[in-house]
């Protein structure tokens, strides 16, 4: 008589959602935030928060998790079936980094594999999860401080060492493995109830973002580092201002004067229009390549070049970015030079990037040939530690996303 199938155990909706995010991010190259929005649809607030912690934490810590799974499971993670790999990563994260009851992490990881119709892999998954239950905490504690323990690619650790030295690099990695402050920009009206003023004018620290106030156009979620960049443009009423690579529109919404916002991607340009309509419907949005601008876009008094970058300053907010980040110094320099050509002689440019990589920061400015207007005296709390003419916000120092900010001027000659 054939054996009866094992009875199905329940899988919590939060774990199911986190598992789907892991599959989509690592097997289908999806972005974690977009995958989570889809997977978490229908979850209540408590389940959604737990699912996000599991999903984002597992994505963020995947290098360390894979090391633990491979060491204790005695099989390379890359050789496992994708559902097994995702289930083990999710279970390992719960055992290593949360206070989840071990039996819950083990049983539901096994059940996820069974639900994937991989019955043959169930005994293996169960065995590995039990070894992880016993051994992952001691293994994690035994790892030396560095990129494996903090789960970063070696190249990002090397960049951080260049910027802040070994101790600073470790502090940076640790800071961006934890949630940073939640900050909104006050667009109009009164600050949200309970909001706390910060050292950046118009930026308020909040417990959570009130989506109703966002929809009404009263606030906008935006880090202090990002808001600082927008303020440093210094635009005034009556000036013509160019904003390159403007989506999603946070900084464009800060600018005064007659603003032209440029975005190359049609979907992001549509998002930009929708976001600006909540607070600043008077901005002109142009769909164009920032390195090859339409001829009629010229004679601006100021320009903001918030360029695409590796994003090494926003790794806390984007858990998958550390695994797909790419430096873009050639594109950044091309955008900066393109904007400079459209600014009148004597006009100013604000160059900002949400990265800490010197190749995308100081080196791009130095290669532009533009004269630097010092910012350190104006904002001493954020002055670059080695080049105070620039600003550099640091997650482990300032508690906000990492931004490099430079104000430049087009020569009169």
For residue range 240-269, list pLDDT tens digits in order.
Answer: 999 999 888 889 999 999 999 999 999 999
Listed residues 118, 143, 168: the one ending a domain: 143
Residue 238 lies in a domain: yes
For residue 49, the domain's CATH number is 1.10.940.10
| Pair (395, 273) in one structural domain | yes
Residue 194 lies in a domain: no
Listed residues 117, 143, 169: the one ending a domain: 143
For residue 386, the domain's CATH number is 3.40.50.150
Residues of the chain with pLDDT under 50: 1-6
Confidence at residue 277, expressed as pLDDT on a 0 to 100 scale: 86
* Residue given tokens 């989509």 in the structure block: 24
Listed residues 143, 158, 180: the one ending a domain: 143
Confidence at residue 4, expressed as pLDDT on a 0 to 100 scale: 39
| Pair (254, 376) in one structural domain | yes
Confidence at residue 413, expressed as pLDDT on a 0 to 100 scale: 59
Domain count, the chain: 2
| Pair (228, 363) in one structural domain | yes
| Pair (125, 229) in one structural domain | no
Catalytic residue, from 245, 309, 354, 361: name it: 354
Confidence at residue 10, expressed as pLDDT on a 0 to 100 scale: 81
Strand partners, 117: none
What range defines the domain where residue 324 resides? 224-409
Confidence at residue 146, expressed as pLDDT on a 0 to 100 scale: 97
Residue 193 lies in a domain: no
Judge whether 361 counts as a catalytic residue: no
Confidence at residue 1, expressed as pLDDT on a 0 to 100 scale: 40
| Pair (276, 135) in one structural domain | no
Residue 7 lies in a domain: no
Confidence at residue 169, expressed as pLDDT on a 0 to 100 scale: 97
pTM of the complete model: 0.92
Confidence at residue 71, expressed as pLDDT on a 0 to 100 scale: 96
Residue 188 lies in a domain: no
Residue 380 lies in a domain: yes
């Amino acid at each position: 008589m054939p054996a009866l199938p094992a009875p199905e155990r329940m899988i919590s909706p939060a774990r199911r959602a986190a598992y789907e995010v892991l599959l989509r991010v690592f097997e289908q190259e999806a972005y974690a935030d977009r995958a989570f929005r889809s997977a978490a649809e229908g979850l209540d607030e408590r389940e959604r928060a737990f699912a996000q912690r599991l999903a984002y934490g597992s994505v963020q810590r995947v290098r360390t998790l894979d090391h633990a799974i491979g060491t204790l499971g005695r099989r390379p993670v890359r050789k496992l079936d994708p559902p097994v790999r995702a289930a083990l990563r999710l279970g390992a994260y719960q055992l290593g980094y949360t206070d989840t009851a071990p039996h819950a992490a083990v049983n539901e990881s096994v059940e996820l594999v069974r639900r994937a119709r991989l019955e043959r892999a169930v005994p293996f998954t169960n065995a590995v999860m039990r070894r992880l239950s016993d051994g992952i905490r001691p293994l994690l504690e035994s790892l030396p401080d560095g990129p494996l323990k903090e789960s970063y690619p070696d190249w990002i650790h090397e960049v951080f060492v260049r910027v802040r030295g070994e101790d600073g690099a470790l502090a940076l990695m640790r800071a961006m493995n934890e949630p940073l402050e939640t900050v909104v920009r006050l667009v109009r009206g009164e600050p949200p109830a309970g909001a706390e003023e910060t050292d950046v004018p118009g930026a308020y620290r909040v417990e959570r973002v009130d989506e109703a106030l966002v929809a009404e156009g009263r606030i906008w979620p935006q880090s202090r580092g990002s808001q600082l960049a927008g303020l440093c443009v210094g635009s005034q009423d009556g000036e013509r201002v160019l904003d390159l690579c403007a989506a999603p529109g946070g900084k464009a919404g800060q600018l005064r004067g007659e603003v032209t916002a440029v975005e190359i991607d049609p979907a992001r340009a549509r998002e930009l229009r929708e976001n600006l309509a909540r607070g600043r419907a008077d901005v002109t949005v142009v769909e164009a390549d920032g390195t090859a601008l339409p001829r009629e876009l010229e004679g601006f008094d100021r320009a903001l070049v918030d360029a695409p970058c590796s994003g090494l300053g926003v790794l806390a907010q984007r858990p998958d970015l550390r695994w797909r980040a790419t430096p873009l110094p050639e594109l950044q320099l091309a955008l900066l030079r393109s904007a400079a050509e459209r600014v009148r002689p004597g006009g100013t440019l604000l160059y900002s990037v949400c990265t800490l990589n010197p190749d995308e920061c100081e080196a791009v400015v130095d290669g532009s040939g533009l004269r630097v207007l010092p910012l350190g005296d104006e904002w001493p709390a954020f002055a670059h530690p080695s080049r105070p003419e620039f600003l550099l916000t640091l997650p482990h120092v300032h508690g906000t996303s990492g931004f490099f900010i430079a104000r430049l001027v087009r020569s009169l000659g």
